[in-house]
Structure formats: structure tokens, C-alpha cells
């Protein structure tokens, strides 16, 4: 049996949507007792199963739930950061530009963040946004320090790093605002309280579009 996340009705496995409110979001319904909605569920776009946050695949139909673009971004961070660190080490040894240590620190901090972001951690999602702001602020501060003490080379290098950080950081920031990314990266997020009957009671006369726009069914 299935329990509709829209109106709380039970219906059979063979039906793909609730016969009462047309919602496709559901959780398994035991024969006796109440079904439990997972905290901050991530609905499967294929079958409507409400999977727990951070699940890479739907446990019912095995549809991919982790956005592929998120995997590519994190893979780029996990592979590109060590290579960039080695490049900066080479520059430090060759040119004695020790201020590039700041770039290495930012890259080193990005690697564990990318790894945990793949697991859908909400805290890591927030840390990534703070890291984007912090890296830009650090490059701006170093550029101002270089200009203040007459170190034009340092100021120019940090200004270039700042421009690169702003360009890439804005793109990553906009990417993190995508609804699919926010839905997946909600493991450990403060619980969204949701009572089906209070929102979708039989006498509310809400339209199908309003039902499909709820916090749970918005992706379906």
C-alpha cells in the first residue's frame, strides 16, 4: 500500500498517483499503524517516492536523485584543487611568492567541503556558500595589503585571483540556488513541519496546481 503525501489517503501499489488529490508523492503504508514522512524528503521525479535527504538513488525505482551537475562540480573540486595546490607550490619555490599560501589554504578547505557535499549535508551546503564569500574577501584584503605596502606584484596577483574567484564564485552561488540542489542537500536541515490533513483536507477545495506546489510535491 501507498500513503499519499498530499491528502493522507491509502491506495494500491498499482496506481501511480493518488485517486483523491492526484498527488504523486507517497511513502510506504503499513497494514496497521501510521506511515512516517521522512524529514525534509526529496521526492523521486520518476515514481514519486519520498526518499530521505541525501539519498543518491531512489530506493523504490533506483532513479538518480543526486544531481549529475553536483557530482561534476564536486569532482572538479576534488581533482582540480590538489593540482592547483601543486602548481602554487611550484610558484612559491620558483618565484618565492609566499602570499600564494593563502590560495592553497582556500583550495585545501574546498576539498573536504566538496566531498561532504556529495553526501547531501545541509551544513556543508552552507559552508560552501561561506567559503565562496570568505575566499573573495581574503583575496581582496591581500590585494589591498599589497597596494598599501607598495608590493605591486602581490597586489596584481591577488587582484587577478579575486577576479577569477568572483567570476567562478557567482556561477557556483547561482548553481547552489537551484531547487534540485537545495532539495538534495538537506540532510540535517531543520525539520520542515508538514501535516497532510491540515494542508490537504478533503474539504479544502484546493486546485491540483496548488497541491503540486507544496513543499513536498513541488518537483513532481
Q: What is the pLDDT of residue 14?
A: 87
Size of the chain, expressed as the number of residues it contains: 220
The CA distance from 57 to 39, in Å, is 17
What band does 174 get if pLDDT is binned at 50, 70 and 90? very high
Q: What is the pLDDT of residue 170?
A: 92
Q: How far apart are the first and last CA of the chain?
A: 20
CB contact set of 211 (below 8 Å; sequence gap of 6+): 6, 21, 22, 23, 200, 217
Q: Looking at the predicted structure, is the pLDDT value of residue 76 above 60?
A: yes
Distance of alpha carbon 150 from alpha carbon 218, whole angstroms? 55
Say how many C-beta atoms besides its own lie within 10 A of residue 81's C-beta: 19
Count the Cβ atoms, other than its own, within 10 Å of residue 76: 11
Residue with more model confidence, 21 or 58: 58
Q: At what angle do helices 152-176 and 68-95 cross, to 10 degrees?
A: 170
> Which of the four pLDDT bands, split at 50, 70 and 90, describes residue 132?
very high
CA distance 70 to 74: 6
> Quick check: 126 and 107 in contact, CB under 8 A?
no
| Rounded Cα–Cα distance for residues 19 and 21 (Å) | 6
Give the residue among 192, 188, 210 at the shortest CA–CA distance from 201.
210
DSSP state of 201: -
The C-alpha atoms of residue 157 and residue 167 are separated, in whole angstroms, by 16
Amino acid at each position: 500500500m501507498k500513503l499519499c503525501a498530499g491528502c493522507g489517503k491509502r491506495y494500491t501499489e498499482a496506481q501511480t498517483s493518488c485517486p483523491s488529490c492526484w498527488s504523486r508523492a507517497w511513502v510506504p503504508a503499513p497494514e496497521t499503524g501510521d506511515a512516517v514522512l521522512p524529514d525534509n524528503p526529496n521526492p523521486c521525479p520518476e515514481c514519486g517516492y519520498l526518499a530521505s535527504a541525501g539519498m543518491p538513488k531512489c530506493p523504490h525505482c533506483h532513479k538518480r536523485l543526486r544531481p549529475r551537475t553536483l557530482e561534476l562540480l564536486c569532482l572538479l573540486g576534488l581533482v582540480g584543487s590538489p593540482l592547483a595546490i601543486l602548481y602554487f607550490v611550484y610558484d612559491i619555490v620558483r618565484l618565492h611568492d609566499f602570499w600564494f599560501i593563502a590560495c592553497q589554504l582556500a583550495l585545501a578547505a574546498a576539498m573536504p567541503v566538496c566531498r561532504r557535499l556529495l553526501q547531501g549535508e545541509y551544513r556543508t551546503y552552507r559552508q560552501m556558500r561561506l567559503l565562496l564569500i570568505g575566499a573573495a574577501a581574503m583575496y581582496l584584503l591581500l590585494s589591498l595589503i599589497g597596494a598599501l605596502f607598495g608590493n605591486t606584484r602581490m597586489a596584481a596577483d591577488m587582484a587577478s585571483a579575486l577576479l577569477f574567484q568572483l567570476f567562478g564564485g557567482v556561477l557556483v552561488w547561482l548553481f547552489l540556488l537551484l531547487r534540485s540542489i537545495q532539495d538534495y542537500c538537506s540532510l540535517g536541515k531543520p525539520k520542515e513541519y508538514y501535516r497532510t490533513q491540515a494542508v490537504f483536507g478533503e474539504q479544502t477545495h484546493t486546485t491540483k496546481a496548488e497541491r503540486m506546489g507544496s513543499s513536498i510535491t513541488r518537483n513532481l
